[in-house]
Chain A
Amino acid sequence: KAGVTQTPRYLIKTRGQQVTLSCSPISGHRSVSWYQQTPGQGLQFLFEYFSETQRNKGNFPGRFSGRQFSNSRSEMNVSTLELGDSALYLCASSGGRFQETQYFGPGTRLLVL
């Protein structure tokens, strides 16, 4: 099976802009989670989608949002970008027998100038 794919791999934006990141889960997986990774805060949970519904949400401001499509592909959006949003954004999918086991994609590196 193909793994989790994320596009784009790299992005450079300026403060105030918005950005949309995309994630395609492993075939057959219905749950997609998003994490933010920074040197200072480490890996932090953003939100999780299952069957097009947001099932769980982390402690991030409302500027961070997401959605999931009927084919389980997911997008996350960050509006009004701030310098502190510079990070590696990771998508993970899970499904099958062990719903809690998450497999990560390569991430999207976002740089906000």
Chain B
Amino acid sequence: GENVEQHPSTLSVQEGDSAVIKCTYSDSASNYFPWYKQELGKGPQLIIDIRSNVGEKKDQRIAVTLNKTAKHFSLHITETQPEDSAVYFCAASLEASFGGSNYKLTFGKGTLLTVNP
């Protein structure tokens, strides 16, 4: 089955700096890669996702890149703010448009991001 590795496990940055979290996956069939942010006491919140037909996607201060050949994808947060502090999870699954019905998400172990004021 799919295996997702995530690094680093903890990341501390100064407010205003950039943060990068990297993930690798093992199953070349995976083609949907979401990122979730989880704050204390809450469920994971989808912040951005990318599908296999694109290499990069941006949403304001957040961007995700995908390298299907190398089987890795990364989350980039620019101009970090204290409210960005949380645990971030990457995940991989299959995309619905490619057929099938197995949308099980396989998660990385998470990255605790701390943004220091």
Chain A proximity of B34: nearest CB distance (Å): 7
Does chain A have a CB within 8 A of B107? yes
Q: Are B43 and A104 in contact (CB under 8 A)?
A: yes
Which of A44, A50, A101 has most B Cβ within 10 Å?
A101
Q: Are A33 and B43 in contact (CB under 8 A)?
A: no
Q: Could you tell me which residues of chain B, from 50 to 108, have a CB within 8 Å of some CB in chain A?
A: 89, 91, 93-96, 101-108
Interface-forming stretch among A11-19, A69-77, A78-86, A92-100? A92-100
CB-defined interface of A26-64 with B at 8 Å, one 1/0 digit per residue? 000001010100000011110010100001101000000
A105 / chain B contacts, CB cutoff of 8 Å = 43
B110 / chain A contacts, CB cutoff of 8 Å = 42
Knowing A100-B32, A100-B93, A101-B34 are in contact, say whether A107-B106 is a contact too (CB < 8 A): no
Q: Are A102 and B103 in contact (CB under 8 A)?
A: yes
Q: Are A106 and B43 in contact (CB under 8 A)?
A: yes
- A-B pairs with beta carbons under 8 A, tally: 61
Interface residues on B, range: 20 to 34
B46 / chain A contacts, CB cutoff of 8 Å = 101-104
Q: What's the Cα separation between A48 and B94 when bound, in Å?
A: 14
Q: What's the Cα separation between A45 and B91 when bound, in Å?
A: 12
Q: What's the Cα separation between A53 and B89 when bound, in Å?
A: 28
B91 / chain A contacts, CB cutoff of 8 Å = 43
Chain B proximity of A58: nearest CB distance (Å): 7
Q: What's the Cα separation between A46 and B45 when bound, in Å?
A: 19
Which of B101, B104, B108, B109 has most A Cβ within 10 Å?
B104
Does chain A have a CB within 8 A of B36? yes
B34 / chain A contacts, CB cutoff of 8 Å = 101-102
**Chain A: residues with CB nearer than 8 A to chain B?**
4, 31, 33, 35, 42-45, 48, 50, 55-56, 58, 90, 92, 94, 98-107
In addition to A43-B105, A55-B101, 13 A-B residue pairs with Cβ atoms within 8 Å of each other are: A43-B91, A44-B107, A45-B104, A45-B105, A56-B104, A58-B104, A90-B43, A99-B96, A101-B34, A102-B46, A103-B46, A104-B36, A107-B43
Q: Which 5 A-B pairs have the closest CB atoms?
A: A99-B96, A104-B43, A43-B107, A100-B103, A106-B43
